């Protein structure tokens, strides 16, 4: 009984001993991320005016389970709303994607940027301008 288990274990070990290693040399080679991956957030803008698509409905802020989104609203003269401040704390974010799914204007999206490590906690709080720049570098 013990010998059969040992033989099965060694068979698996020897089988993988003679195959090529699947290793990514990280700084030089990048992994292909899945299309539906949920990584860094970005605010989208209208192409012709560069205005933020967000209409400040507050749904993303309400649906967020970790409460990492903070929006400060502003009403314009034509009674439309745009956020003055849009902060996203990635240190608290679960990357669940609920904010993306609930947005009626498709104003927030997830990009394919997955290298988010840093030593300073303050750098994990993304402002409106940083989130807009994430979207622009995603497109271009």
Domain assignment present for 43: yes
Domain assignment present for 56: yes
- pLDDT tens by residue, the chain, 140 residues: 788 999 998 999 998 888 887 888 888 888 787 888 888 999 999 888 888 899 989 999 999 999 999 999 888 888 888 899 999 999 999 999 999 999 999 999 999 888 888 899 999 999 999 999 987 765 44
Domain assignment present for 15: no
The count of domains in the chain is 1
Dist CA 85 CA 107 (whole Å): 14
Domain assignment present for 117: yes
59 is in which domain, residue-wise?
A: 34-139
* Kind plus residue range of the DSSP H or E element containing 2: helix 2-17
Dist CA 22 CA 83 (whole Å): 46
Domain assignment present for 84: yes
Domain assignment present for 51: yes
Q: Kindly report the CATH number assigned to the domain that includes residue 103.
A: 3.30.70.3270
Tokens of 118: 């840093």
Number of H helices, E strands in the chain: 4, 5
Domain assignment present for 7: no
Q: Is the CB of residue 51 less than 8 Å from the CB of residue 139? A: no
Global confidence as pTM: 0.74
Domain assignment present for 24: no
Non-local CB neighbours of 54 within 8 Å, separated by 6+ positions: 43, 71, 82, 83, 86, 103, 105, 107, 108
């Amino acid at each position: 009984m013990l010998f059969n288990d040992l033989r099965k274990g060694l068979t698996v070990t020897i089988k993988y001993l003679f195959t090529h290693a699947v290793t990514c040399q990280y700084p030089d080679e990048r992994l292909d991320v899945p299309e539906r991956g949920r990584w860094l957030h970005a605010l989208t803008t209208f192409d012709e005016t560069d205005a933020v698509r967000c209409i400040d409905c507050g749904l993303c802020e309400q649906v967020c389970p970790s409460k990492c989104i903070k929006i400060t609203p502003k009403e314009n003269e034509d009674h439309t709303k745009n956020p003055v401040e849009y902060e996203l704390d990635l240190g608290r974010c679960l990357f669940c994607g609920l904010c993306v799914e609930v947005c009626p204007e498709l104003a927030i999206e997830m990009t394919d940027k997955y290298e988010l490590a840093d030593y300073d906690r303050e750098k994990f709080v993304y402002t409106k301008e940083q989130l807009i720049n994430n979207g622009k570098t995603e497109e271009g």
